[in-house]
Amino acid sequence: MAARRHSRHPILHPTVEVRALDGSLPGACVPVVERVKGPADLLESGDCTLSFMGEEYELEAEDGWFYPKGGSPCDRVVVPNQADPSTVLIITYEPVASVLAWYDVEDWSLESLLGWQAQPLFGVKVRVLKVDLDVDSGNTAGTELPPRTPEVDATEGMGGFGHPGKIVYMNDMDVDGDQIPDFLDGFVNISGCLVNSNTLERSDNLITGGAFIPIVLDCPLPEGVAPADARIEFVYDANNPGAIDRMTLAASQAYATNAWQQNTLPGRIRVWTKNANVNRKPASVASGGDFVPSGTLLPYGDVVTGGATQTVFYVEGIGTSPAWGGDTIKVRVYPSGAGQGWGEDQVSYTVVRCVYKVCVYRPYICQRNASGTITNRAIFRSVVTSPRTMLQSYFTGMKQFDDYDAADFHQTAAFMGHAFARVETRMPDATNFFWTGQTGLYASFQQVKSVAAFQNGTHWWFRSNDGREDKESDCKTRYQHLFASPVSNAWLSDAGAPLRKMVAVREFRLRPETVRLLSDYRSRLHPFKGYGLDVALKTSSDSRIGCGSYVGLLTEYSNVCDIAPWVRNLNMPVVNIDGSVHYNWIMLVNAFVPYTYGSNGQLHDFFATLEGETMPAFTADPASAHWGASPATTPYRNLMFCDPELMMDWVDAANAATAWDAERGVTVKWNATNPNSLTEWRSRP
């Protein structure tokens, strides 16, 4: 509701007006009278105190008041000259836009009342229609009912980024994974949609787990007003679902393809009488449907049903708004039908599209026949019960690399997986789209140097200085070819489970404040240069961050979700190989690139020894069988990083909770956040 609205309890505005009689009472009004501001205090009961001409008068909310010039308020007053009521004034409460007040005039006579000589008197009774529309303009309730407090009311009509009204998400997402964009889902209009073979339920019947934005309309009719005579009108920038022709599943998906760039349906929002998670009829409520059209006078009983004084409606975002708080939903109530006066109220809103996608290139290996031809690509999971099993898994993965010659395939590093991210923003003061990720390990000489540095004790952990941000074109190609429209050989087997896409994606719908944090961390704060498996977030010259860890830090900094399930936190021992050199074995894995390409003969021979049929030297050391210092004399160093394997499992678990497609899912996150300090990562050595 607008800022000019009355307080929650009183039904009239705390301004009292002194004016001459007008056309609502018998006679013609001649004098023009100055307004008197007041009352000084508005009581909770709806009564008020009038300060006028040095006197205090207690006024009741339900009364209108006449008084002659210089007289005192009373509810009935003698009219000196019925033909010329210019000496008679009326004090009434001054209603705001959300309150319609009108007067019923009663004709009295002193003779009938008091037995005095006949003289006409007029009694006045005020009838008040309150129209109160509420929305969560403070953006604290998400998709729950709005808090109906004076503080929230006071911001409902303000504009600008600080007061955008209710933030509404553009509903082009697919919350239930049924492959139908949600703004075309839920009203049975898609041919070829998915069907549950057991229940025969159609996927376009409703949005499982979906939720629209509730708004509350409070407009009880005054006593004596017949509901059959009253009309209600909603006025807003509407998209009419009843005007959308039936379409195929593929056609519906086309509406969402470019939604990140533009509004693909006309209008800004829809107002429904039902929420997203139940079936809705796209016809107007006047025709038995569930859609509330704009600019149509609807019978009061079609909109406010069951004698309720408060009615909940649901707002669905269709297209983004051009200005913060610049769009409104206005409700007008006509107690006596069209053209007979109305009460109205309005709320403001802003439709935004703020999307964050966590994308995980699944770790996988290639299985080959005797001639070396790849026969299967399978998801690869490391055995991390000990340093020994972890390193053995890594070396096993190295030997089963992918040699498919395509830029979007992970090739040599397939067994390790990869992570990258996408941000898409369309809101009034920002349009921003970018792919991002962390990559490195391209300069083999730096890795060989790191081996030496580790051997002589100057480095505990491997760090490459050739870290950089992923190329956006590479990220885009991976997403398109390995997830959105997978090429033929971009499917992975998974131990008897259904084939998986090579890239796993979890999508988030976020508040504008949160998506700004994502952009800020990527563009201003993250030190891309230092690349390494173990994470230390310090300055640009001594930070080390891997691909999964970058997406983890980006996500944690913005408080998008808890990344604890993505993190490996291990105490890695340093074991003795030849009596003189100590190795932290995870460093050896980071040196796999020069080994694979044969760029360093001595290192190549060393790895070949480790991969021999006999037990490699590192597994012979007792310390490699345990995480931490076991035996107690073995030095160890904490290893902590976000593992794409764990990220993949988290994405799969989240998407599996959707109703239809285990490869798709959306998290709608409403709570506002402050940036995370990332102290846990910054304080690491």
Q: Which residues contact 163 (CB under 8 A, 6 or more apart)?
A: 137, 155, 324, 325
Residue type, 464: S
Domain count, the chain: 3
Higher pLDDT, 555 or 119: 555
Range with lowest mean pLDDT among 202-211, 311-320, 406-415: 406-415
Residue 497 pLDDT: 83
Residue 69 pLDDT: 39
Residue 523 pLDDT: 95
Q: Is residue 300 part of a domain?
A: yes
Whether 615 has a pLDDT exceeding 60, the answer reads no
Per-residue pLDDT tens digits for 370-396: 998 999 999 999 999 988 888 778 778
Whether 328 has a pLDDT exceeding 80, the answer reads yes
Domain C-terminal end among 310, 335, 354: 354
Measure CA 187 to chain center. 23
Whether 604 has a pLDDT exceeding 90, the answer reads no
Q: Is the dihedral of CA 357, 363, 366, 367 positive or negative?
A: negative
Per-residue pLDDT tens digits for 427-462: 998 899 999 999 886 654 444 444 444 444 444 466
Percent over 90 (pLDDT), the chain: 45
Q: Is residue 214 part of a domain?
A: yes
- Examine the domain organization and report whether 94 and 144 are in the same domain: no
- Average pLDDT rounded to a whole number, residues 662-671: 89
Per-residue pLDDT tens digits for 126-168: 567 788 899 999 899 999 999 988 777 777 777 777 789 999 9
Q: Is residue 572 part of a domain?
A: yes
Dihedral angle at the C-alpha atoms of 89, 95, 100, 102, nearest 10 degrees? Answer: -10
Residue 32 pLDDT: 27
- Examine the domain organization and report whether 342 and 372 are in the same domain: no
- Average pLDDT rounded to a whole number, residues 363-370: 92
Residue 336 pLDDT: 80
- Average pLDDT rounded to a whole number, residues 596-601: 37
Residue 598 pLDDT: 34
Residue 551 pLDDT: 98
Residue 390 pLDDT: 84
User: Running DSSP on this structure, what letter comes out for residue 544?
Assistant: B
pLDDT winner (highest mean) among 225-239, 302-316, 405-419: 225-239
Higher pLDDT, 381 or 589: 381
Q: Is residue 303 part of a domain?
A: yes
376 is written with which tokens?
A: 């299967």
- Examine the domain organization and report whether 375 and 336 are in the same domain: no
- Average pLDDT rounded to a whole number, residues 101-125: 41
Higher pLDDT, 549 or 541: 549
Residue 340 pLDDT: 67
Residue 28 pLDDT: 28
- For 443-447, the CB contacts below 8 A with 24+ separation are 444/593, 444/594, 444/597, 444/599, 444/600, 445/599, 447/590, 447/591, 447/593, 447/594
Q: Is residue 8 part of a domain?
A: no
Q: Which residues contact 191 (CB under 8 A, 6 or more apart)?
A: 246, 247, 248, 249
Rounded to 10°, the helix 512-520/547-557 angle is: 140
Whether 25 has a pLDDT exceeding 90, the answer reads no
Please state the three-class secondary structure of 458-516 as a single string.
CCCCCCECCCEECCHHHHHHHHHHHHHCCCCCCEEEECCEEEEECEEEEEEECCHHHHH
Residue 57 pLDDT: 55
Higher pLDDT, 50 or 261: 261
Whether 232 has a pLDDT exceeding 60, the answer reads yes
- For residue 82, give its domain range: 16-127
- Examine the domain organization and report whether 558 and 510 are in the same domain: yes
- Examine the domain organization and report whether 154 and 292 are in the same domain: yes
Residue 532 pLDDT: 82
- Examine the domain organization and report whether 67 and 160 are in the same domain: no
Residue 430 pLDDT: 86
Residue 2 pLDDT: 31
Residue 256's closest CA among 194, 315, 190, 197?
190
Residue 8's alpha-carbon distances to 50, 132, 148, 544, in angstroms, are 20, 9, 8, 56
Residue 575 pLDDT: 57
Per-residue pLDDT tens digits for 631-663: 666 667 788 999 999 999 999 999 998 888 888
Q: Is the dihedral of CA 166, 172, 173, 177 positive or negative?
A: positive
Q: Is residue 2 part of a domain?
A: no
- Average pLDDT rounded to a whole number, residues 183-195: 92
Whether 619 has a pLDDT exceeding 50, the answer reads yes
- Average pLDDT rounded to a whole number, residues 586-610: 42
Domain C-terminal end among 61, 93, 127: 127
pLDDT winner (highest mean) among 61-75, 335-349, 556-570: 556-570
Average pLDDT, the chain: 76
Q: Is residue 323 part of a domain?
A: yes
Per-residue pLDDT tens digits for 42-72: 333 445 555 444 555 555 544 444 433 344 4
Range with lowest mean pLDDT among 5-9, 171-175, 378-382: 5-9
Per-residue pLDDT tens digits for 506-543: 999 999 999 999 999 999 999 999 888 889 898 888 88
Q: In whole angstroms, give the CA distance from residue 664 to residue 647.
A: 15
Residue whose entry in the numeric block shows the structure tokens 């300060």: 51
- Examine the domain organization and report whether 123 and 156 are in the same domain: no
Higher pLDDT, 3 or 171: 171
Residue 187 pLDDT: 92
Domain C-terminal end among 83, 108, 127: 127
Q: Is residue 3 part of a domain?
A: no
- Examine the domain organization and report whether 70 and 164 are in the same domain: no
Residue 64 pLDDT: 41
- Examine the domain organization and report whether 307 and 388 are in the same domain: no
Q: Which residues contact 529 (CB under 8 A, 6 or more apart)?
A: 465, 466, 467, 468, 540, 541, 543
- Average pLDDT rounded to a whole number, residues 207-228: 89
Three-state DSSP class for 416? Answer: helix
- Examine the domain organization and report whether 167 and 68 are in the same domain: no
Range with lowest mean pLDDT among 9-13, 289-293, 310-314, 596-600: 9-13
* Per-residue confidence band for 295, with pLDDT thresholds at 50, 70 and 90: very high
Residue 47 pLDDT: 52
Range with lowest mean pLDDT among 118-132, 323-337, 660-674: 118-132
- Examine the domain organization and report whether 259 and 393 are in the same domain: no
pLDDT winner (highest mean) among 107-111, 335-339, 363-367: 363-367
- Average pLDDT rounded to a whole number, residues 279-306: 92
Q: In whole angstroms, give the CA distance from residue 329 to residue 43.
A: 30
- Examine the domain organization and report whether 335 and 384 are in the same domain: no
Higher pLDDT, 637 or 123: 637
- Average pLDDT rounded to a whole number, residues 490-510: 92
Dihedral angle at the C-alpha atoms of 323, 137, 512, 485, nearest 10 degrees? Answer: -90
